[in-house]
């Protein structure tokens, strides 16, 4: 999936007919390029950001008293956009090529919009009322489509789509979405040449694939995650070094005791188990307390999480295993050193 943005200058494209003619000519050219499976236009592609919203009313559901006005994300799209992005049609129909200019008082909503504003009923045939300029206009809802994310990591918002070929305000800027049969970026230059063929002075920008849009949207989150992971690894290293140091000190303090135990018949395995138990006992207590604290913290930040669970058994199991292995490795060196203590040398040192 390849996306390319452009904005038609208002002075050069002052009439809706001129804007629509450019959109249609570009789509026709791009759809006939080798390697193009489908193409469509939308004001802002999924993952491209919020890009504003529109306040509306529903004539079939008049507001009672001082109820706040409803709002939803606003998008304009051409008839082929939903098929190009494989956004499923849940009910009703898509836009058609005949719906343009004064014959475009139609709207398509997403599932979130339908669930939020038409719970338990079909939204088809209902209307949304918007005020583009000074005059309010009604748009009939003709279809319901699947949800898309306006921003990666953000929850789905109610979205309403209007025909981009209608000439309503804010249709001069568009995002060309191209569904390719192969590597998307290989078609970036041919597509830009088609734009230049129609208007050599028109610049294009944000030539991105869908993975690049996702990467761009999650760059800050990825950096934060990497930073947190680095601090976590540093904390784990400091814990291991600290545990090793404490156990080494305890073993050095108990050299005479361990020597006497061995002299009286204690086996090396028993000494090893004694030192390991002493070293791992505080680790086990810390893990129990930390697991409870982690579970509580996860529930507290549940509303801030997206696409993950606050109490993931796999994550907790991995965390416990890594800490136990780290503690075991830090305890093993002092324990092995204790097993090699010679009773005669230990008693002579005393």
Residue-level pLDDT at 166? 76
* Residue where one domain finishes, among candidates 189, 217, 245: 217
In 3D space, the residue among 249, 266, 268 whose CA is nearest the CA of residue 340 turns out to be 268
Q: Are residues 136 and 63 in the same domain?
A: yes
Distance CA 21, CA 201 (A): 17
Q: Are residues 32 and 133 in the same domain?
A: yes
Distance CA 115, CA 70 (A): 14
Distance CA 70, CA 129 (A): 10
Candidate from 95-104, 149-158, 189-198 with smallest mean pLDDT: 95-104
In the predicted model, what is the mean pLDDT of residues 22-49? 92
Q: Are residues 45 and 131 in the same domain?
A: yes
Say if residue 190's pLDDT is above 80.
yes
Helix (H) or strand (E) holding 336: helix 313-339
Q: Are residues 189 and 285 in the same domain?
A: no
In the predicted model, what is the mean pLDDT of residues 155-178? 84
Q: What is the chain's alpha carbon radius of gyration, rounded to the nearest angstrom?
A: 33
Residue-level pLDDT at 67? 52
In the predicted model, what is the mean pLDDT of residues 229-244? 84
* Residue where one domain finishes, among candidates 217, 246, 275: 217
Residue-level pLDDT at 94? 93
Those residues with Cβ within 8 angstroms of residue 73's Cβ, 6 or more apart along the chain or in another chain:
50, 51, 52, 53, 150, 157, 158, 159, 160
* Residue where one domain finishes, among candidates 167, 185, 217: 217
Q: Are residues 34 and 93 in the same domain?
A: yes
Q: 8 is written with which tokens?
A: 């038609």
Q: Which residue range is the domain that position 319 belongs to?
A: 220-349
Q: Are residues 243 and 170 in the same domain?
A: no
3-state secondary structure of 158: coil
Q: pLDDT: is 42 or 318 the higher one? A: 42
Residue-level pLDDT at 64? 60
Q: Are residues 258 and 196 in the same domain?
A: no
Say if residue 69's pLDDT is above 70.
no
Q: What percent of the chain has pLDDT over 70?
A: 92
Domain total of the chain: 2
Q: Are residues 121 and 187 in the same domain?
A: yes
Q: Which DSSP string do the residues of 105-131 spell out, in sequence order?
A: -EEEEEHHHHHHHSTTS--TT-EEEEE
Say if residue 114's pLDDT is above 70.
yes
Q: Are residues 183 and 288 in the same domain?
A: no
Question: Strand 70-77 relative to strand 53-56: parallel, antiparallel, unpaired?
Answer: antiparallel
Q: Are residues 187 and 280 in the same domain?
A: no
Those residues with Cβ within 8 angstroms of residue 19's Cβ, 6 or more apart along the chain or in another chain:
8, 13, 167, 171, 172
Candidate from 70-79, 130-139, 173-182, 188-197 with smallest mean pLDDT: 130-139
CA distances, 48 to each of 19, 177, 211, 296 (Å): 22, 12, 12, 35
In the predicted model, what is the mean pLDDT of residues 305-319? 78
Q: Are residues 255 and 302 in the same domain?
A: yes
Q: Are residues 74 and 197 in the same domain?
A: yes
């Amino acid at each position: 999936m390849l996306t390319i943005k452009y904005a038609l200058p208002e002075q050069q494209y002052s009439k809706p007919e001129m804007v629509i003619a450019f959109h249609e000519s570009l789509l026709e050219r791009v759809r006939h390029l080798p390697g193009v499976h489908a193409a469509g236009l939308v004001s802002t592609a999924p993952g491209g950001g919020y890009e504003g919203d529109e306040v509306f009313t529903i004539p079939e559901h008049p507001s009672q008293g001082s109820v706040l006005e409803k709002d939803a994300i606003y998008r304009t799209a051409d008839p082929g956009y939903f098929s190009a992005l494989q956004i499923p049609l849940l009910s009703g129909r898509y836009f058609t090529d005949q719906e343009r200019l004064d014959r475009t008082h139609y709207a398509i909503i997403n599932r979130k919009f339908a669930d939020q504003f038409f719970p338990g009923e079909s939204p088809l045939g209902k209307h949304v009322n918007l005020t583009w300029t000074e005059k309010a206009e009604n748009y009939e809802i003709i279809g319901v489509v699947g949800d898309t994310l306006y921003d990666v990591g953000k929850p789905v918002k109610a979205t309403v789509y209007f025909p981009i070929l209608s000439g309503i305000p804010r249709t001069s800027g568009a995002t060309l979405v191209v569904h390719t049969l192969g590597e998307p970026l290989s078609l970036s230059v041919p597509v830009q040449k088609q734009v230049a063929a129609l208007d050599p002075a028109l610049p294009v920008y944000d030539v991105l694939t869908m993975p690049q849009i996702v990467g761009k949207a999650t760059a800050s989150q990825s950096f934060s995650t990497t930073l947190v992971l680095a601090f976590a690894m540093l904390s784990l290293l400091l814990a291991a070094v600290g545990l090793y140091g404490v156990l080494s000190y305890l073993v050095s303090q108990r050299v005479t005791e361990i020597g006497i135990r061995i002299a009286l018949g204690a086996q090396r395995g028993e000494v090893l188990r004694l030192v390991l138990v002493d070293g791992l006992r505080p680790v086990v207590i810390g893990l129990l307390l930390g697991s409870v604290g982690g579970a509580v913290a996860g529930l507290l930040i549940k509303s801030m999480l997206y696409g993950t669970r606050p109490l993931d058994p796999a994550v907790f199991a991995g965390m416990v295993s890594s800490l136990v292995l780290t503690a075991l490795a830090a305890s093993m060196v002092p324990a092995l050193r204790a097993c090699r203590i010679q009773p005669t040398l230990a008693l002579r040192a005393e």
